[in-house]
Amino acid sequence: MYQAVRGTMDILPEEQPYWRYVEQAIADISRLYGYRRIDTPIFEDTGLFSRSTGEYTDIVQKEMYTFDDRGGNSLTLKPEGTPPVCRAYIQHGLHNLPQPVKLYYICPIFRYDRPQAGRYRQHYQFGCEAIGDADPTLDAEVIDIAWRFYKSLGLNKISLQLNSIGCRQCRPVYLTVLKDYYAGYTDQLCADCKIRLEKNTLRLLDCKQASCRKIAESAPKSADHLCTECDEHFKKLQQYLGLLKIPFEMNHRLVRGLDYYTRTVFEIQPEEEGTQSTLGGGGRYDDLIEELGGKPTPAIGFACGIERIILNLKKEGVAIPVPDSLRVLIAYRGDAAREEAIKLAAGLRQAGISAVTTTGGKSLKAQMRQANSLNVRYAVIIGEDEVKAGTAVLRDMADARQETIAIGQLVERLR
């Protein structure tokens, strides 16, 4: 028996209302803030990700689904949404539009992660990117979108963590200070952190191992080593978040798992923290577009996992709208009645009323059981007598009241 591949899942019809609910909230919030949708391909040249996400990140080192196509090109299933959007921005000359260009996406993301609750090998992300402006107003706007998005879904038990990790000017200075600090702890670091110390120093700060975490707690803070411009930018952002009444906590260990971030980084967590709890995160990436061959173009973005949102909607017991069920089931007995049923179903659908006929020659009793389990509002019953008389029985499933009605009047009546 084939099973869905480990770390992937089917979204069965029962689950779909949650997905429609989240998608509607995404469409609403994006419209409110003027973000337009972009869709990029499922796979890209592998180099796009190794170049931007960062050669020594977990994603590039361990998690990408990379394969050669029949032409020998190395391709990778999208492990995150930002680099493809930047590639599209450059490729289609979007710098010619008024800046910043504001975009959003919903797409599947593929990571060879260790599957567990809230962590899958294929998951879906909603992300938005504001490209072409370094103004901290934009940082506040993107954080505001994330914050209001969760609130609009009914997720209220969330917290915002904030940090600034500086820019090309001040980061190297900070990294030297950080390396000096860690030099005193090398023998206590986990194997991954020993490599990080050399290759990806900043990520020492967000190691999940308890012993490394303790060392990180007392590490020098990037926010204390910002250049004047970054410091001012970060202060302005905090001021604007105050204006927007968005509470935040400073978290000096927050650096995010991708290499391209500059200045602002942030994450949204549920208040009750679990291991796979981060609801969403983002930050500024002022050098990425230039790194990918575009003009120097500052930008900021945010992404969140839809499965984790749904887990939290369930955990918080948020009531979601129940979609309309089918309106009408047409039950019948005999071939002549079946023909009437087929015609009637077509007429109802043309009038915008959802309708099904039964199939498979079930007894009338079985057909009525089906009407019950489909939760239809009305059943129409056509037997041999009704065919002869040109009528049908209309049954209101809510109160079991029945009336006989001319078949020609049914569509109008049900409308």
Q: How many residues bind ligand AMP (CB under 6 A)?
A: 18
Beta strand 43-45 with 66-68 is unpaired
- 362 lies in the site for ligand AMP, by CB under 6 A: no
Name the minimum Å distance from CB 296 to ligand AMP.
24
Question: Residue 373 corresponds to which tokens in the numbers above?
Answer: 């389990």
Name the minimum Å distance from CB 109 to ligand AMP.
7
Question: Which run of H or of E encompasses 149?
Answer: helix 136-153
Name the minimum Å distance from CB 304 to ligand AMP.
5
Gyration radius from the chain CA atoms:
28
Q: Which residues make Cβ contacts (< 8 Å) with residue 192, sequence separation at least 6? A: 207
Name the minimum Å distance from CB 6 to ligand AMP.
12
Q: Which residues make Cβ contacts (< 8 Å) with residue 403, sequence separation at least 6? A: 393, 394
- 305 lies in the site for ligand AMP, by CB under 6 A: yes
Among 154, 220, 257, 347, binds ligand AMP (CB under 6 A): 257
- Selection from 301, 369, 262, 305 nearest residue 117 by Cα: 305
- 304 lies in the site for ligand AMP, by CB under 6 A: yes
- Selection from 129, 52, 289 nearest residue 64 by Cα: 52
Alpha carbon of 264 to those of 73, 84, 167: distances in Å?
A: 35, 21, 10
Rounded Cα distance between 106 and 24, Å, is 12
- 284 lies in the site for ligand AMP, by CB under 6 A: no
Among 203, 263, 308, 338, binds ligand AMP (CB under 6 A): 308
- 113 lies in the site for ligand AMP, by CB under 6 A: yes
Name the minimum Å distance from CB 257 to ligand AMP.
5
Among 54, 83, 136, 281, binds ligand AMP (CB under 6 A): 281
Among 303, 331, 348, 387, binds ligand AMP (CB under 6 A): 303
Indicate the SS3 state at residue 301.
Answer: strand
Among 136, 166, 280, 283, binds ligand AMP (CB under 6 A): 280
- Is 167 or 304 the residue whose CB approaches ligand AMP more closely? 304
Distance of CA 398 to the CA centre of its chain: 38
71: burial class by Cβ within 10 Å (0-12, 13-18, 19+)?
exposed
- Selection from 163, 168, 171, 129 nearest residue 146 by Cα: 129
- Is 21 or 120 the residue whose CB approaches ligand AMP more closely? 120
- Judge if the upstream peptide bond of residue 100 is cis by omega within 30 degrees of 0: yes
Name the minimum Å distance from CB 381 to ligand AMP.
48
- 120 lies in the site for ligand AMP, by CB under 6 A: yes
Contact stretch for ligand AMP (CB under 6 A) within 219-227, 298-306, 369-377, 391-399? 298-306
Classify the C-alpha dihedral 365-368-370-373 as positive or negative. Answer: negative
Question: Can you tell me which residue has the tokens 């000359």?
Answer: 93
- 144 lies in the site for ligand AMP, by CB under 6 A: no
- 338 lies in the site for ligand AMP, by CB under 6 A: no
Contact stretch for ligand AMP (CB under 6 A) within 111-119, 362-370, 388-396, 405-413? 111-119
- 313 lies in the site for ligand AMP, by CB under 6 A: no
What is the CB neighbour count within 10 angstroms for residue 135?
A: 16
Query: Which chain residues interact with ligand AMP by CB under 6 A?
Result: 80, 111, 113, 118-120, 123, 125, 257, 278-281, 303-305, 307-308
